[in-house]
Amino acid sequence: MENKEFLKTIFAEPSFRPEEVAKVLEQYKKMEFAKNDFLIREGSVGNYYYFLESGFARSYAIDLEGNDITTKFFGPKDIVIDWHSYFLKKPTRENIQAITPCIAWKITFEDFMKLFHIEAFREIGRTRLVNSFFELKNHTTSMIIDPAKDRYLSLIKDKPNLIQNVPLKQIATYLGITDTSLSRIRKEIANEKI
């Protein structure tokens, strides 16, 4: 029997009744991913919705020049999903890959839909979807109007453990800057603290 304590922290009372928690937990299966394993590959359909218990992952796309550009980072307690692919059954245009070893809990679309009659489950899903949209919107807007240094400071404020666990090259592509620019920004910030 899998230990589902992590999931119990997400699907907890008072939002859920005990029988609802039991029904929700039985739909999730534990997955372990090694560093560099793919959770979803470009061109495939995202058949799983994951709750990340531990580790870090990222989504990325390959631009027209063949560069790998990070579009999102995922850390503990995040949902790892390509929303469009999962719900509309369309091939994804991105890859989602483990940056570190990860433990995640997956649910299929069919099992997800079995739980949709539970009001608290629907509300968690709605809230997570809306938050994901706002995060994407804020990142897109920030890429247009904020200086790179501010984008970096915002990232380390929002996801402080990311810096110790993610290659700087991936952070640079997420921020829309070069590795050299990111190194300069990091040095500047370090000098300000002295």
What tens digit of pLDDT does each residue of 21-63 get?
999 999 999 999 999 999 999 999 999 999 999 999 999 999 9
* Longest distance between any two alpha carbons in the chain, whole Å: 56
% of residues, the chain, pLDDT over 90:
75
> How many domains is the chain partitioned into structurally?
1
Contact 82, 105 (CB under 8 A): no
% of residues, the chain, pLDDT over 70:
99
Compute the average pLDDT of residues 87-113.
95
Query: Does 34 map to a domain?
Result: yes
Query: Does 176 map to a domain?
Result: no
Question: C-alpha distances in angstroms, 159 versus 33, 62, 104, 114?
Answer: 21, 24, 18, 33
Tokens of residue 54, six digits: 């531990």
Q: Which domain holds residue 32?
A: 5-116
pTM of the model: 0.90
Question: Alpha-carbon dihedral of residues 26, 129, 158, 68, nearest 10 degrees?
Answer: 100
- CATH, residue 25: 2.60.120.10
Query: Does 22 map to a domain?
Result: yes
At residue 132, the 3 state secondary structure works out as: helix
